[in-house]
Structure formats: C-alpha cells, structure tokens
Structure 1
Amino acid sequence: LYLQVMDSKLSSYGIDEYRVAASQLAQTSLRSVIGKIELDRTFEERDTLNQQVVAAIDEAAQNWGVKVLRYEIKDITPPQTVMEAMEKQMKAEREKRAAIATSEGERQSRINRAEGLKQEAIEVSEGEKRKRINEAEGQAKEIELVAHATAEGIRKVAEALSMTGGETAANLRVAEKYIAEFGNLAKENNTMIIPASLGDISAMVSTVMSVLGHANKSNMTKVG
C-alpha cells in the first residue's frame, strides 16, 4: 500500500495512525471486492482488484490528509477448505472437458465410419453399374457381329444362287445333307426314325439323282 501525505495536520490530528487505518481499510475493501467475483478469477483480475481497493481507501483517506497512490496484491492465499473446493472444481472441469472431448471423438469416428461405408457403397454401386454397362455393350457388339455375319452369309448365298448353276448346286447340297444325316441316324444304336411315307425317301433320292444327272450333263457340255 503506497500512501502520500497531502495534509500533515489532518494526518497527525485527524486520525491516530493513518497507516494502520489505511491498511485495515485495504484488507476490508479487498475482502468485499473478492466476495463479488468468482474465486478462480481473482488471480486473473488482480489489476482490477487493486484499482477497486485504491478507490475505496482513497475516498476515506481524504479526511486523513492522505492520498492512496497504489495498492498491490502480492499474494492471495485462500483457506484450506477453499483450496480443496477449488481443486475439486478444477478436477470436475477437467473431467467434464475430457468427457466432452471423448464424446466428440466418438461422434466424429462414427461419422467418419458412416461416411466411409457410404463411399464404399457408392463405389461398389458404380462398379456394378459399369460392369452391367460393359456386359450390355459386349452383348450388343456380339449381336451386331452375328447379325452382320448372318447378313453377309445370306448375301453370299443370294449371289451364289443368282449365278449360273447356283440353284442346282444349292439343291445338290441340300440333298447330300439330307442323305448324310439320315445315314448318321442309321449308324446310331438308338431307335431309328423312319419317315411316315417311304416315298419321301425315294422322292429325295430321285431328286438327288436328277440333280446329279443334271450336274453331269452340265459338266459334259462344258467339256465338249
């Protein structure tokens, strides 16, 4: 506590011991000011406490011929019970912050896990979609190639039939195929299928022979 005597008469006769009186008033004022704020803030607001104590003492010290220049709190030592209460409060605050941090971490972990599963599902879905598209494109390409090959085959057959002797060659090919397939059935150890009319076979054989004869005549004509 820093004091300055402004009026020596008042300081000598206005009060017995202005230093003792100022010191006691400072302690009383400090208790009053500290009682208005939270205990854990007293260390943070020491300058504010000093100013409030100076203002309270200076108002009374004017009658003593003394001016208060400055008041400085060097140390604050609360009672043991208060210290224990503060320690419990700080411990509770630390545990509270730790619980909040843990809860926030778990929440963020669940969010990240859900986001990961969501992203994985999207990627799997995109992969399946791409796979189906590729398969569909492959099937479409295959159908296109088969159709193209079939059309090309039909075109060539049509060209062959339109040529001289083309129709005769086609009939001969059909007759040969018929006889070959019928012969294969006869070689199998299965039940043989006989046409409903045996005349069908004779007619087919006659057709084949007629075609062969016609083909031979054509060849002889070409040779001659």
Structure 2
Amino acid sequence: MIAGVDTDLIVMGIWGLIFAIFVIKLFQSIRLVPTKSACVVERLGKYHSTLDAGFHALVPFVDKVAYVHDLKEETIDVPPQECFSSDEVNVEVDGVIYISVIDPVKASYGVTDYRYAAIQLAQTTTRSVIGTLDLDRTFEERDVISAKVVEVLDQAGATWGIRVHRYEIKNITPPETVKNAMEMQVNAERERRALLAKSEGDKQSKINRSEGIKAETINHSEGEMQRRINEAEGKAEEILAIAKATAESIERIAQVISAPGGKNVVRMQLGAQYLQQFDGLSQNASKIVLPGNMMDFEHWMDSMGLEESKD
C-alpha cells in the first residue's frame, strides 16, 4: 500500500515537472522585441526568421532566439597599437569606430564576432597606411588614414552585415625623444614667426612714420606757399593802393596848382616844410650845417615851375 502511494507521488511529480517546463517554455516563446533591435530565430538548429520590433510568438521546444542584435549606431574603441612610419619612427595610434548592424543574419552567421573583426581590420589597415607616410604627414593626413580604414571596413562589412559610418584617430603618440625634437622645432618656428611679425611691424611703423613726416612737410610747404602768396597779394594790393592814392594826391595837387593862386600855396607849404627840417636838425644835433646860399630854395622852386604867381 505504501509502495503504491510512493509510485503515484513520483508520477505526479514527474507530470508536474513536465507541466512546469511546458509553462516556462510557453512564456519563453513569447518575445517582445524593442525598437531598433532584431532577434534571429533558429528552428531545430537552422536559421528560420528574423524578428523585428514588436510582439512575436514562437513554437515551444522547436524555435529559439539564437542571436539578439542592437541596430543602433555603436562606438567601438580601437586599442592603442604601435606603427612604423616610412621614416622608421615608431608611433602609437588609437582610434574609435562608429558602426551599426544592417543585416542581422550576416552579422550572426557571416563572422564569429563582428566587433572584434572590425577592430582587428582597423588596426591592420591603420598600420599599412601609416607605413606609407613619414612622421610629419601622419599628423597632417588623419583624414586620409580615416578614409582608407572606412573604405576597407565597408568592403568587409558587406559580408559581415555591418556598416562603418566613420573612423576617427584619437591619438598619434610619437616616442619621447621625437616629441621633444618636434616641440623644439615648433618653438623655433614660433620664434621665427614672432621675429618676422616684429620686423614687419617695425617696417610698417617706419613706413607710417615717414608717410606722416612726408604729409607734414607737404602741409608745411603748402602752408608756407599759401602764406607767401597771401603776403605777395597783400603787398601788391598795398602797392596798388599807395599808387592809387599817390596818383589821386598828384592829381589833386595838380588841380590845386592849376587853380588861381595855387602855386603860391604850394610854395608856402614847401617852404614851411623846408624850414621845419632845419628846426628838427637843431633839436637833434649840436652843430647844424646850412646851405651856402639860402636862396637856392627859391631857384629850386622856380625850376619846378612853382614861380610865384603875379596874380
């Protein structure tokens, strides 16, 4: 009786275990695939289908999700590696790859690990490209190196089901001795440029100063010329005014002389001035020299046509 009970319990436990496994498998057969993700389903060990984003139900015990791929763009670091340039300088180069899965089936069955394969291919391509460049060009031709790596990875990516968007070199590190030599070269170039800039500045300063002196000299000369022109015009106007006044004075004197009794008036005026000259000489000198004949004045007046009028 006890043995029969034990057998029933064992059978019930086995059926319960089978039921539990069936329930678990049933729940596992229900898959909710997130956006930008893909699941590769195998049926009895063979590729069956690819599940896109959404709700999916699999056949329990027959279907299984073998691979899950993230379709978003991802970043993969390329570890540092030693490369030799064409001038036999050892440099250390590292970078980063930006890739995304475009064909989940090829990414699952075309290569064992597409990430590792992409890293290895990027390293080997970088070494081969840097081997064709000298040290100075490796710093200048980063775009060329990146473009070449992307080209090679794209060719392989068609088989691996991936797309390489870009490859960027993060660091190119030369040996310490080479780095010191490059720093000295850069410093020398900076000093040369500073000296050149200073000399150009001094040259421009001297040119500006000479231009200023030239302009100042021209302004002074033009001002002096204008001053002399103004003085000459002023003197000319003064001479003209004096001549005009003298002419008017002579004309008036002639009118006075030609008038009745005019000659006598002129003789008297000139005589008064003649005597005033002697008065001035007596005040300014202790000795006075007089003409030998005081009547010479009368003869001079007669010679001038100013003989005394009879009127």
* TM superposition score normalised by structure 1: 0.66
Unpaired runs of 5+ residues, structure 1, are 219-224
- Note if 1:147 corresponds to 2:246: no
Give the secondary-structure state (helix, strand or coil) at the position aligned to 1:69: strand
Which range moved further: 180-189 or 153-162? 180-189
The separation in 2 between residues aligned to 1:133 and 1:9, in whole angstroms, is 104
**Identity percentage of aligned residues:** 36
1:26 aligned residue: 122
1:78 aligned residue: 173
TM superposition shift of 1:79: 2.5
Give the secondary-structure state (helix, strand or coil) at the position aligned to 1:164: coil
2:222 aligned residue: 126
Q: Deviations over 1:190-212 (max 9, x none)?
A: 362543xx4x738949x99x959
Q: 1:69 to 1:190 in 2, by over 3 A?
A: same
Q: Which is helix-richer, 1 or 2?
A: 1
Letter paired with 1:69: R
1:113 aligned residue: 209
Structure 1 counterpart of 2:233, from 120, 137, 140: 137
Structure 1 counterpart of 2:191, from 80, 95, 106: 95
Q: Which is strand-richer, 1 or 2?
A: 2
Q: 1:152 to 1:181 in 2, by over 3 A?
A: same
C-alpha contact 1:186 1:192 (8 A) present in aligned 2: no
C-alpha contact 1:3 1:69 (8 A) present in aligned 2: yes
The separation in 2 between residues aligned to 1:183 and 1:87, in whole angstroms, is 103
The separation in 2 between residues aligned to 1:69 and 1:98, in whole angstroms, is 48
Give the secondary-structure state (helix, strand or coil) at the position aligned to 1:150: helix
1:222 aligned residue: none
Q: 1:174 to 1:10 in 2, by over 3 A?
A: closer
The separation in 2 between residues aligned to 1:103 and 1:148, in whole angstroms, is 66
Q: 1:33 to 1:176 in 2, by over 3 A?
A: same
Which range moved further: 145-154 or 85-94? 85-94
C-alpha contact 2:122 2:149 (8 A) present in aligned 1: yes
C-alpha contact 1:58 1:67 (8 A) present in aligned 2: no
C-alpha contact 2:107 2:162 (8 A) present in aligned 1: no
CA RMSD of superposed structures (Å): 4.1
Of structures 1 and 2, the one scoring higher in RCO (CA 8 A, sep 6+) is 1
Q: Deviations over 1:17-74 (max 9, x none)?
A: 987666444323212323437133255x2xx433311323555x48xx5466326346
- Note if 1:40 corresponds to 2:142: no
Q: 1:68 to 1:142 in 2, by over 3 A?
A: same
1:53 aligned residue: 149
Q: 1:39 to 1:89 in 2, by over 3 A?
A: farther
Letter paired with 1:140: A
Q: How many residues end up aligned between the 2 structures?
A: 200
Letter paired with 1:76: N
